[in-house]
Amino acid sequence: MIPSLSTRIAEPPGHKDRALYSLADFGRMAKELGYGALSMRASRLSVDTPADEVARAKAMLDELGLTVSLVTGTVSLATNDERATEALRDITPHLDLAERLGCTLVRVMSQRDDDIPWLRRAAHEAGERGMRLAHQLHIGTLCETAEAALDVLRRVDSPHLGITYEPSNPLVCGGDYGPEVIEGLAPHIVNVYLQNWHQHVGGELALSTNAGVVTADQVALDDRRGIDLDQVFEGLRRIGWAGYVTVHQALMPGQDVREEAARHIAAIRPYLARST
Q: Please say if the pLDDT value at position 276 is more than 60.
A: no
> What pLDDT, in 10s, does the model give residues 181-215?
999 999 999 999 999 999 999 899 899 899 899 99
Average pLDDT, the chain: 96
Q: Are 67 and 103 in contact (CB under 8 A)?
A: yes
> What is the structure's pLDDT at 174?
85
> What is the structure's pLDDT at 211?
87
Q: What residues pair up with 64 in beta bridges, in sequence order? A: none
> What pLDDT, in 10s, does the model give residues 123-179?
999 999 999 999 999 999 999 999 999 999 999 999 999 999 999 999 998 889 999
Residue 252: count other Cβ atoms within 10 Å of its Cβ.
Answer: 14
d(CA 153, CA 182): 15
| pLDDT, mean of residues 228-237 | 97
3-state helix, strand, coil in the chain (%, to 5): 40, 20, 40
Q: How far is CA 39 from CA 71, 191, 230, 252, in A?
A: 6, 10, 23, 19
d(CA 90, CA 73): 11
Q: Are 119 and 156 in contact (CB under 8 A)?
A: yes
Per-position DSSP letters for 67-132, written without gaps between them: EEEEEE-SHHHHHT-TTTTHHHH--HHHHHHHHHTT--EEEE---SGGGHHHHHHHHHHHHHTT-E
> What is the structure's pLDDT at 175?
86
Q: How confident is the model at residue 275 (pLDDT cuts 50, 70, 90)?
A: low
- The domain that contains 156 carries what CATH number? 3.20.20.150
Overall number of domains in the chain:
1
| pLDDT, mean of residues 98-117 | 98
Residue 65: count other Cβ atoms within 10 Å of its Cβ.
Answer: 10
Residue 103: partners with Cβ closer than 8 Å, 6 or more residues away: 40, 67, 68, 69, 70, 71
Q: What residues pair up with 41 in beta bridges, in sequence order? A: 72
d(CA 254, CA 73): 28
> What is the structure's pLDDT at 6?
98
Classify residue 182 by burial, with Cβ atoms within 10 Å: 0-12, 13-18, 19+.
Answer: buried
- What is the residue range of 24's domain? 2-274
Closest CA to 40 of 94, 88, 86, 118: 94
